[in-house]
Structure 1
Amino acid sequence: MATDLSNGPDSTLISSGKEKEAPGPSRLELLPAELVYSILSYLSPYDLAAVSGTSRTLFTRATADHLWQALIQENVPGVRVKSPSPCPSFRALYIAHDPRWFLPKYKIWFSDGDLTGRLIIARFDPRRGCIEGYQLVAASRSRTSHPWTADPDVMIHNFDPVVQLHLDKPIIQLDAIDPTESQDFGPETQSYGGGITTIKLRRDRSRGSSPSSPPSRLASEIPMQNGSDSMYSTFILSRLLSPSEISSRCFEPFPYGSIWPPPTIPSSQRVLGACLHHFQQQLLKPESRPSCRSNLSDMTFRIRKWLTMRVPENDDNTSVRNYFSTISNLIPVDLDVDEDNVPLRLHIGEEIATYATLDPKLYTPTKEKPWRGIWVGDYSGHGCEFLLVTQPDDDIPFDSEAIQPREGESPEEFEQRRYEETVYRGRLDAIKLSGDPNVPRGEVTFRVGDLGDKGLVRVCEDEPFEGVRMVRSEGHVASTGFVLGKSSSDIGVLKRGEKADMIPTFIWDGMIDSFIESQLLLISHDRLAQYWIDWGHISFFERVDIDRFLTPA
C-alpha cells in the first residue's frame, strides 16, 4: 500500500502525485530595480555573471550597462571611461579584455629581461578601447659636473632628467575584439594574416598544449599588433608558484631559482621567470600556464616575441631544402612545405620576458614614510635607471601624538622636532626596477639602516646642500657580468673596505660584488643624492610621477 505524503512533512514537494509547481520569483526579484542595482554593484564581475544566469529578470538587472561600466572604471585609474567603443556595450568591452584588466589596474610593470630589464606603464585608451603598454625611458638634459665646495676632490654630477614613454614602439597592444575571433596557436605552426606561415626553430619542441588538445583560454597566447612585418609578439598569462616552491627558490643565489619578482621586492605572488634566457622553453609548458582562475596570477604576465625571415624558394622548393640543410647542423628543423605554396618564414630569435607589478603600498608615500615611490637615478655611463624606494613598516606602530613639548620649547621648535622624529626613522631601501651590466634589475642599489640619529652623519653647511641631512648608507657595486656565483663567505673573501656591519654578498667568477660605504643626502621628499665615497662623486635621484603617463595624449 502506497504511503500518502500529501499531508506529511514533504507535502510541499509532493502533493497527490502531481509534479512540483514552478517556484515563484525570489525576494530579490521583488525588490525595486534601484535597490537591486545597488546590491549588484557590490558584486565581482564573476558573481555578477553568475547572478545573470538565475532568471530572466535578474539577467536583465545583472547585464545593466552601468554596472559593467563601473567594473571597468575600477580597473582604469587616471582615465574616465565614457564609451564602450568599439564594443556595443560595457559588458562586451569587459568580456573582450577579461581577465587582463589587471594590466591598467596596477599600472607599473618591470621585467626580468637580461640584466637591464625594462619598466613599462600599462594603461587603457578609451578612444580605441584597447589596453596598451609602453616602455618608460629617461635621459638627463645635463651631463656636466662641478667640484663640491666642502671637498674639491668630490665631483657633483648635475642631473636634470626627462622621463617619457617610448610611444613609437608599444610593448603591449591588446585590442578589444570578440574572444571567439582570437587565434589560438597550434603546436608547431602559427598563421597570421596575409597568407604567411611561420615555422618555429628551437631546440625544445614542447608546447603549452598538444595538437589534439587545444589550450584553454587562460593558457592560450594572444597575438599583439606591433606595427612590424617581421617582428611578432604574444601575451601570455602566468601561473602562480606555490608557497613551497617559492620558499625553496628564494634562498638560492642570484637569480634566486628564476623566480620573479625577486626576493628583494615584497610580493604576494611570484612566478617562474626566464632565468636570463637559460630556461625560456620551460615557460611554454602547460605547468607554467594557468589552468583556472584560482592559479592565475594577476600580478605577473609574460611577453613572447620573435623575428621571422622569409625563406627563398623556387618552383621545386630546392633552395628551401638547401637552406634548411645548411642550418640543420645547428638547430633541428622540420620542413613542412605547404601544398598551396604559401611562402615560408623562419621563426628565429625567440625571447620570453616575465613582468611583475608592485603592491601600491610599496611606492605610495605617507606622512611617516615620505620617500616611498618610483624614482629615476643617474648612473653615469649607464645612463638613467628606475628605482623603487621603499620604507618598510615599523614592527611597532609609531604614534607621533606621544611626542610632547619640552620645557622652554617654542611651538615652532616643537613642531620641527616632532616632524624630524616622525620622518627621520627606520630603514630605507632603493631597489632597481631597471638595471645595468654591473648591478642588475631587482637588486638593491643602496640602503640606509637608520634615517634617525643612529645613522646621522651631519647636517650639511656648504652649498649646494646647505641644511640637508646626511645619513650613512651602503651602495651596491659589482664588476661587469653580475651572474651566477657562490657566496663570498663560502670562499673566504674579504672585500676591500668591508666593515663588520656590512653584509657579505656574492663573488661572480672572480668579480666581487659588495656593499661599500656611502652617504645619502635627504634633499627633499622628491630629490635625493648619493655620495659614493670611494669613487669621489655625488649622483642624484628624482621622484617620478607615474600618474601623469596614464592618460593617452
Structure 2
Amino acid sequence: MEPPDSTTAFTSLPSELIHQILGYLPLSDLLSTGLVSRSLHEHSQQDSLYHCFVQENVPSRVLEKPPNSSWRELFKSHHPFWFIPRNKIWFSDHPHTGKLLVARYDHRIDAIEAYSIVAERKQPSVLAWDWNPEVIIHTFTPRIQLDLNVPVIRLDANAYQHAVGDQGYRLQKEIPMHLHGESPSSSTGLFSQLMLTRPWPKAITGASTPVWPPLSLPSSTRTRNDSASHFRDVQHRPSKLPEMSTDTFRLRRWMQFSPRLQSMGARMGEDITTWATLPEQYYRPTADKPWQGIWCGDYAGHGCEFLAIMQPDDPLPLPERAEWVMRLRERQGSVSSSDSWSTAPTNATSDDDADGDETMHESANGLETSVATLQAPDHEDSFHDPACVADDERIYRGRIEAVKLTGDPNIPRGEYTFIAPDISNNGLVRIATEELFKGARIVKSVGHIAARGFRDDDYIQSQLILISHDRLAQYWETFGHVSFYQRVNVDDFVKV
C-alpha cells in the first residue's frame, strides 16, 4: 500500500488544526493554497481566517463582526485599499503648503475615510526669559483636531462600483469619491478621484528626481510626482498587485460645469496631488528615541505647521550649508561670540521674510547687538549617579532632525526645518537653570531659513531646547526669538 501524498495527509487533519495552520499564512499564500484541491479551497474560505486580514489594517480598535456581511466579504470589498487606513498618516506634495491627513476605517458606514488634521493658534501671551530678557517668547497651546466637515478621501461600495478608466485592468482605474453630496450621475460640481501608483526604481532616483516622498523623509518606495499627461499614462499605474505601491497614491480633483454653460471643455482647475506615508517606526517614540513623532510647530505669521521629528540611526549627511554653519560655530567657539553671524556664505540678499520674519537677510554688523546678548557663563556639570549617566548616554545621543509635513511660502513641505546634529555632550550648550526652562537640556542646532518662494535658502545657528518628550523649543539666535513645538498623538484621531 502506497503512503498518502502530503496533501492527503494534511487534509486528513482535524478541521480546527487545519484552520489554525492556515491562519499563519499571508493572503497570497492562503489564496494559492485554495487552488491546490477542492478540500483545501473549502478550508481557505473559512471566514475566521479573514478576520485577521481586516483587523491588521485597522490597528486603532478591535472590530466586531459586520452584522450583514462576513469577514471575507468585508476584506474583499475594500481590497486593495486597506493600506490607506493601515498607514494612518498621509502628507501631500501640494505646492509649498502641503496637507496632512489621518486615515481610518469607519465601521459604521463601511468606508475608508481620511480627514485633514488642522491646528489653531490660541491667543498667545508674552513670556519673560531671565536668561535673555531681550528675546521674544510667546506661549503656544494649539488646538489640534480633524476637520470633519468634508473628508478628503471616502472609499465605499458606491465609489468602487463607479470606477472609471479606459483600461481593462482594475488597478488602473480611478475611483470617484462623492464627497460633496453630488450624485454619481451629476455633471456639475467639485470632483475627486483616487489613483493607485507604481514605485519609481531606486536605481534611477537621484537628488534631482521629482519623487514623493522627498529624500529627506524615509520610505521603502517613492513614486514620480510629475507627468506631462497628468498621470493618464498607464505606466504610472499598476496592472497587477506586485506592481502596486502601498506607500503612495494620487488624487485628481477638478471643478466641472454644465456643458450648456461651458462649450469648450467641462473641466476647470484640474489639480493632481501625490500622497505619501511615513513608516510608523520613524515617528513612534521609543525608550531610546523619545522625541520621535509627529509634532505641531508655531511658525508665527504662517500659523501652525506639522513636522516629523526623527532620530535616525544612520542619518543622511548634513546639507552642505548646514555643515558649513556647524563648522563655523566650532571655529568660533562659544555661541555667544559678538561676531557670530552664522549663515553659510552667500551673496544673495532679499527683502522677503525668513520663515515668518520680515527682515531675514540683514548685514552682519546690524546683528552684532542682538547676538551679543547671548553671552552667558559656561554651564556647570551637575552630579549624576552611574545609573543616570547610563540613561543619559542611551537617550542623549545622535541626531534629532525635523522635516516639515506641511509648509509655507518660505520653507515648503518636505524640507528640513531644524537639525540638531548631536544631542550628546558633544553638542551640549548648557543645562538650563532659569525658571522658564529649568532642567532642560539645550543643544546646538541649525535652523532652515529662506526668502519667499524658497529662494536663497540657508541655515543659521540655533539652539534646540529639550523641555520634555512632548514639548520642544527652538531658540533662533540671530532673530532673538523662541518658537515651540508640541507633540501630536496620531492615535487620538484614528479612533472612530
TM-score interval for Structure 1 and Structure 2 normalised by the shorter chain: 0.7 to 0.9
Aligned Cα root-mean-square deviation (Å): 2.2
Deviation string 1:34-78 (CA, Å, 9 cap, x unpaired) is 111111111122222222233332222111111111110011111
Partner of 2:460 in structure 1? Answer: 516
Counterpart contact for 1:65–1:90, Cα < 8 Å? yes
Partner of 2:127 in structure 1? Answer: 146
Partner of 1:310 in structure 2? Answer: 258
Write the letter of the residue equivalent to 1:389.
I
Write the letter of the residue equivalent to 2:203.
S
Q: CA deviation at 1:145?
A: 2.3
- 2:28 and 2:111 map into 1 onto residues whose CA distance is 21
Write the letter of the residue equivalent to 2:198.
R
Q: CA deviation at 1:293?
A: 1.6
Partner of 1:5 in structure 2? Answer: none
- Determine helix, strand or coil for the equivalent of 2:231: helix
Deviation string 1:110-161 (CA, Å, 9 cap, x unpaired) is 1101111111011011112211000111112232323322212101121001
Write the letter of the residue equivalent to 2:470.
D
- Determine helix, strand or coil for the equivalent of 2:17: helix
Partner of 1:260 in structure 2? Answer: 212
Write the letter of the residue equivalent to 1:28.
F
State percent identity of aligned pairs. Answer: 42
1:443-458 alignment, distance < 5 Å: 443-458=415-430
Q: CA deviation at 1:178?
A: 9.4
- 1:262 and 1:178 map into 2 onto residues whose CA distance is 30
Out of 447-456 and 57-66, give the one that drifted further: 57-66
Write the letter of the residue equivalent to 2:459.
F
Q: CA deviation at 1:96?
A: 1.1
- Determine helix, strand or coil for the equivalent of 2:24: coil
Corresponding residue to 1:251 among 194, 207, 229: 207
- 2:479 and 2:437 map into 1 onto residues whose CA distance is 19
Partner of 2:281 in structure 1? Answer: 361
Out of 423-432 and 222-231, give the one that drifted further: 222-231
Partner of 1:404 in structure 2? Answer: none
1:58-137 alignment, distance < 5 Å: 58-84=40-66, 88-137=69-118
Q: CA deviation at 1:282?
A: 4.2
Partner of 2:224 in structure 1? Answer: 272
Write the letter of the residue equivalent to 2:215.
P
Q: CA deviation at 1:411?
A: 11
TM-score (ref. length: structure 2): 0.81
1:186-205 alignment, distance < 5 Å: 186=166
- 1:59 and 1:77 map into 2 onto residues whose CA distance is 29
Q: Highest Rg: 1 or 2? A: 1
- Determine helix, strand or coil for the equivalent of 2:215: coil
- 2:181 and 2:195 map into 1 onto residues whose CA distance is 20
Q: CA deviation at 1:272?
A: 0.6
515 and 215 in structure 1: CA distance in 2 versus 1, 3 angstrom threshold: farther
Counterpart contact for 2:159–2:175, Cα < 8 Å? no
- 1:178 and 1:53 map into 2 onto residues whose CA distance is 30
Counterpart contact for 2:210–2:224, Cα < 8 Å? yes
- 1:79 and 1:93 map into 2 onto residues whose CA distance is 16
Residue ranges of structure 2 left out of the alignment (5+ in a row) = 183-188, 316-381
Q: CA deviation at 1:453?
A: 1.2
Partner of 1:427 in structure 2? Answer: 399
- 2:390 and 2:50 map into 1 onto residues whose CA distance is 47
Partner of 1:283 in structure 2? Answer: 231
**Number of positions where the alignment pairs a residue of Structure 1 with one of Structure 2:** 422
Partner of 1:467 in structure 2? Answer: 439
Counterpart contact for 1:280–1:351, Cα < 8 Å? no
Deviation string 1:324-368 (CA, Å, 9 cap, x unpaired) is 3xxxxxxxx5xxxxxxxxxxxx11111111111111111111221
Write the letter of the residue equivalent to 1:551.
K
Partner of 2:198 in structure 1? Answer: 239
Counterpart contact for 2:402–2:418, Cα < 8 Å? yes
Write the letter of the residue equivalent to 1:41.
G
Write the letter of the residue equivalent to 2:217.
I
- 2:228 and 2:436 map into 1 onto residues whose CA distance is 49
Counterpart contact for 2:159–2:178, Cα < 8 Å? no
Partner of 1:538 in structure 2? Answer: 482
Partner of 1:392 in structure 2? Answer: 312
TM-score (ref. length: structure 1): 0.73
Query: Which aligned segments of 4 or more residues in structure 1 are displaced greater than 4 angstroms?
Result: none
